[in-house]
Amino acid sequence: MRHPKTLIAIALLATPLAGCASDGDWVELKGVRIAVEIADEHAERQRGLMFRDRLERGTGMVFVHEREQPLAYWMKNTRIPLDILYFDAQRRLVSVSNAPPCSAERCPPYPARGPAMYVLELNAGEAESLGLVPGDTLTLGPGVPERGAP
């Protein structure tokens, strides 16, 4: 029989932590570090934050596209309200969209106001609380793939 402390340690290691960024990945906005999950492949970007019941404060998901282009995100099967932040290849903020949850078959798209390469999704209201304005720069942590010019 295993020791009770060993069982607790195994249980803790096997339990996924909601909103916790794997490998300590992060981005930074206005001096605030945000733990992120990275979606840099098509299937990851397509699933995004679908079916999640919550997103921990101070965490998010960063979507990395192959090139700067017109982008529009939608919230199908997304259960939490989010801020969608679009950044160009130089990682300057292009626009912010506030998106409510949507479980309908036809959810509205939220297009960027200009070409974008990086998208950051945060809990609704976090962009406002950070005081973000177009042109603010996104700093990528070492684990986040860079595809555009810094």
Residue 30, phi-psi category: left (phi > 0), alpha (psi -120 to 50), beta (remainder): left
Give the tokens for residue 47: 């699933």
Asked if the structure places residue 6 within a domain, the reply is no
pLDDT of residue 138: 98
Per the domain annotation, does 3 fall within a domain? no
Domain membership of residue 1 (yes or no) is: no
What CATH number is given to the structural domain containing 101? 2.60.120.1140
> Which pLDDT belongs to residue 17?
36
Type of residue at 109? P
Tell me the C-alpha distance between 49 and 46, whole Å: 9
CB atoms within 10 A of CB 82: 28
Whether residue 83 lies inside any domain: the answer is yes
| The residue count for the chain | 150
In-domain check, residue 40: yes
Which residues span the domain enclosing 104? 18-140
Residue 115, in any domain of the structure: yes
Mean pLDDT per 10-residue section of the chain, whose length is 150 residues: 39 35 81 97 94 96 97 95 98 97 91 98 97 98 80
Number of domains in the chain: 1
Place of tokens 């999640």: 52
In a domain, 81, yes or no: yes
Output the pLDDT for position 148. 56
Is beta strand 32-39 parallel, antiparallel or unpaired with respect to 59-69? parallel
Q: Return d(Cα 26, Cα 36) in angstroms, integer.
A: 5
Contact 87, 48 (CB under 8 A): no
φ, ψ of residue 31 in degrees (nearest 5)? 80, 5
pTM over 0.95, yes/no: no
